[in-house]
Structure 1
């Protein structure tokens, strides 16, 4: 029943969000078409439900060949590969909004583990890889809330790739926590906290709402 209701709620929220956010989506599409590399959307292969690949929708915020430049799949704060408007879209998370279409298609849910590129997915150990996408990946999730400032954390580390590798075991533990505590109430709390973090980015309430999260190791 939970999975059925979750899917119904996903479609309802995505529909309402698309209608409400159209005044933002349309101007962004026009600006992207007229600037940068004139690309509106960026389609990237990700690992999805039951570890099956799918293509995620995003607004184009970086150079098209970014994965082959610089730090590859790791994006740093003030990354030179980010297009002029891309920094704003990424900071505000507007670049993630086209994933509404992935939700309509059933590739994703509103709440779930973030879908990763295969190179990042391989950072998880075999046990996490076998379990993390037993639920549909989400636009937001517990890992996204805890690591909303991930680019900043990695950028400030002495070794960006080493820090990126340290983050993954904890992200895996967080997503296992989510699966053990999955419910409509948990999902609504995560949706609320996501909206809160956009409006008040410096006031993260996640640990106050969820007091039994795995302890952060760093």
Structure 2
């Protein structure tokens, strides 16, 4: 997945969720994250067919391993291509723990079970509102 790096590189074994005032970010990178500019390169992944506009957000591999161990059915979210935005993002936002990820998974599975063009349009319109209102970024 292509993305503008907004955090200092951590060793693979130290991958962790981002916190609100994470010490791995700078003021400039927080601006990029807050305005979601760091997500723009992912459109390249969409053009290449590796991602969709709408679908469950991809997670870091180490975090996926942990969540697949800790949350039943977590792997079901991988039945569809990952997306730039999704049902979970507009309802749950950022998840920074296993418990929050379990809630987010419920939204992802709702989407997987009810995928449609109409639902995708609804999600994209809601995403535009969230972006303009600057809700939920870290």
Asked whether the two chains share a fold, i.e. TM above 0.5, the reply is: yes
1:189-217 Cα deviation digits (max 9, x unpaired): 00000010111235xxxxxxxxxxxxxxx
User: Would you say how many aligned residue pairs link Structure 1 and Structure 2?
Assistant: 132
For residue 36 of structure 2, what is the aligned residue in structure 1?
93
Q: Unpaired segments of 5 or more residues in structure 2?
A: none
Does residue 175 (structure 1) correspond to residue 108 (structure 2)? The answer is yes
Q: What's the secondary structure of 2:27's corresponding residue?
A: coil
For residue 77 of structure 2, what is the aligned residue in structure 1?
132
Structure 2-normalised TM-score? 0.85
Higher CA-based Rg = 1
Q: What's the secondary structure of 2:46's corresponding residue?
A: helix
Residues 153-172 of structure 1: matches in 2 within 5 Å? 154=96, 164-172=97-105
Does the aligned pair in 2 maintain the 1:99–1:139 contact within 8 Å? yes
1:63-120 Cα deviation digits (max 9, x unpaired): 1236566xx3211112121133100011111101100111111110000001112222
Question: Using CA pairs below 8 Å that are at least 6 residues apart, which structure has the higher relative contact order?
Answer: 2
1:142-173 Cα deviation digits (max 9, x unpaired): 1111233x37xx5xxxxxxxxx0101211111
Structure 1-normalised TM-score? 0.56
Superposition deviation, residue 140 in structure 1: 0.3
Question: What RMSD in Å do the two structures reach over aligned CA positions?
Answer: 1.9
Higher strand share: 1
For residue 54 of structure 2, what is the aligned residue in structure 1?
111
